[in-house]
Chains A and B, each alone.
Chain A
């Protein structure tokens, strides 16, 4: 059976050149257009990323939630470091119980401020495995963070089913060994928080790599995380190949990924250029081959954008 993964389109983001000004000027058109397009592309949850939103974040989030609910019936992930903005979004939503608070970390302030909101509105939340000490260095520290957040949820009688654990994806240039850590961590989730889901900010994997090549790394990493059983990912819904991958429609990639992650190898020359891109990316992401910005430069010219259809 094909592996699938829930998608959380990432493009409604205050950092975007079109969406940022539209949010500030309260112009619904480009935002609603994007929300429709993301839903049509097969997105499952709309991520509304306002970033820090220090000034007027509450009004901004409330307006954004209403604006999007006019055109899309998908659940919303309210993504901001401003808790007041998150609550304003929950209040404004027609169905707050379907919203996801993105995110709650293991930092005391985050736990204290945000867990009550999850309880009050009966919504879901992303458990970000980040503590006062920063980003976890290994599987144990990831587990400690997740357990701490889950412990807090239990205090509020919030079941594990409403938690999406985010183990934090780091850029390949920063931590090439993280796949191994994910490989250990994801299978542990059912043991300590039965029913909990998983998610990740996928595109961070390619942060710092050449912009025009980022989606190649993102897709390969997504294929690997799917092989490890990830439940959902925050992705670019405008990347058709990524969406097809998440919907379990590219069997050759799934097979290749499984083979490589199971420790097998394949005859690279027998692969199509498109699959060679996955092959090389996966080899870099597994740490078998050292990544460099030129990792697929000789292949890019040969690729057919529609090969997977």
Chain B
């Protein structure tokens, strides 16, 4: 008797999200099966990696992620160009760390202007990420949306406390939103509903389920994401059919195992760079296996590794 492989049939399908404008727009999501299981359903869009650019760099960053950018580290626009031209970035994520009220507290007008300059300099879609300060992010991201009307940026993270202002600005000025929830599958759904109720269509929302690095709770992120994927695919839950994004670079590069040299912790081994690169790459692959569609990453070497992995698993 001929062998016939068992396949899983899903009643639902993940929605898509397109960000960026014109020829450079990118589409993620749309999968009709669990990650890389092309034998179960259509996987129309490969996962995309967006490379991070910071407008201010924490002096504690390990050398492994300063070295590749050392000539551009004080110039975010040049850094973004380098990521695209030299490291082949398919998208950029601008981390607006300098707007943090507990840091440099730079204002919304500065951020909006920086985004405009970056848009003019690069040929790939742009994600704009706030500092994580809830109120300030709402103010900064709203201004970024207004000044850069119609550019179809992906902005975030919008959380329970600030989603109204952020989603309203995205809706008014033609952008897409990252809907972030605190490792809680019920809240992930609720955030989508709340943002969608404001009038932003589901194909303008991407979920960030809160990303943890390897060794720091990655299994929680994994479980929530897998549950989200199953709700979207197996239960055909239309409020869960937004693709997923993971802001993982910053989580990985602050892990103890990445920050410490072998002098401080001999057991970790001498190659601190390799450790960091693998830490980020492993976390990224975990997120892909949990159903991620868009990864925000830092190290060019890690990005290269993960892209190879995506290509091989999609072949």
- Please give the residue numbers on chain A whose beta carbons come within 8 Å of chain B beta carbons, in ascending order: 172-173, 288-294
Contact = CB atoms under 8 A, between A and B. Distances in A.
Nearest to B193: A294
A263 to B, nearest CB: 15
Interface string B212-252: 00000000000000010001000101011000000000000
A288 B11 CA distance: 13
Per CB-CB distance, the 10 closest pairs between chain A and chain B, nearest first, are: A292-B189, A292-B190, A294-B193, A290-B231, A293-B190, A173-B186, A291-B186, A290-B189, A292-B186, A290-B237
A288 B235 contact: yes
Chain B CB count within 10 A is highest, among A173, A289, A292, for: A292
23 contacts: A172-B186, A173-B184, A288-B235, A289-B235, A289-B237, A290-B185, A290-B186, A290-B189, A290-B227, A290-B239, A290-B240, A291-B186, A291-B189, A292-B186, A292-B187, A292-B190, A292-B193, A292-B239, A293-B186, A293-B190, A294-B190, A294-B193, A294-B194
Contacts of A294: 190, 193-194, 197
B202 to A, nearest CB: 14
A53 to B, nearest CB: 33
Max count, chain A CB within 10 A of own CB: residue among B186, B189, B197: B186
A171 to B, nearest CB: 10
Nearest to B197: A294
Nearest to B184: A173
A290 B235 CA distance: 9
A249 B304 CA distance: 66
A32 to B, nearest CB: 40
Nearest to A284: B186
Contacts of A293: 186, 190
Contacts of B197: 294
A70 to B, nearest CB: 45
A88 B264 CA distance: 61
Contacts of B239: 290, 292
Q: Chain B binding site: helix, strand, loop or mixed by DSSP?
A: helix
A245 to B, nearest CB: 25
Nearest to B237: A290
B107 to A, nearest CB: 34
Contacts of A173: 184, 186
B189 to A, nearest CB: 4
Contacts of A289: 235, 237
A294 B186 CA distance: 10
A291 B186 CA distance: 6
Chain B CB within 10 A, most for which of A172, A173, A290: A290
A199 to B, nearest CB: 27
Contacts of B237: 289-290
Contacts of A288: 235
Contacts of A290: 185-186, 189, 227, 231, 235, 237, 239-240
Interface string B175-193: 0000000001111011001
A292 B240 CA distance: 11
Contacts of B231: 290
A202 B261 CA distance: 54
Contacts of B184: 173
B182 to A, nearest CB: 12
B214 to A, nearest CB: 25
Contacts of B185: 290
A290 B229 CA distance: 11
A288 B230 CA distance: 11
Contacts of B240: 290
Nearest to B185: A290
A80 B134 CA distance: 42
B203 to A, nearest CB: 19
Given A173-B184, A290-B239, A294-B194, 14 more contacts: A288-B235, A289-B235, A289-B237, A290-B189, A290-B227, A290-B231, A290-B235, A290-B237, A290-B240, A291-B186, A292-B189, A292-B193, A293-B186, A294-B193
Contacts of B190: 292-294
A291 B235 CA distance: 12
A294 B192 CA distance: 10
A294 B189 CA distance: 9
Contacts of B186: 172-173, 290-293
Nearest to A287: B235
B14 to A, nearest CB: 14
A182 B185 CA distance: 22
* Most chain B CB inside 10 Å of its own CB: which residue of A288, A289, A291: A289
Nearest to B191: A292
Interface in B235-288: 235, 237, 239-240
A168 to B, nearest CB: 20
A172 B190 CA distance: 14
Nearest to B236: A289
A211 to B, nearest CB: 16
Nearest to B194: A294
Contacts of A172: 186
Nearest to B187: A292
Contacts of A292: 186-187, 189-190, 193, 239
A178 to B, nearest CB: 14
A22 to B, nearest CB: 36
A180 to B, nearest CB: 15
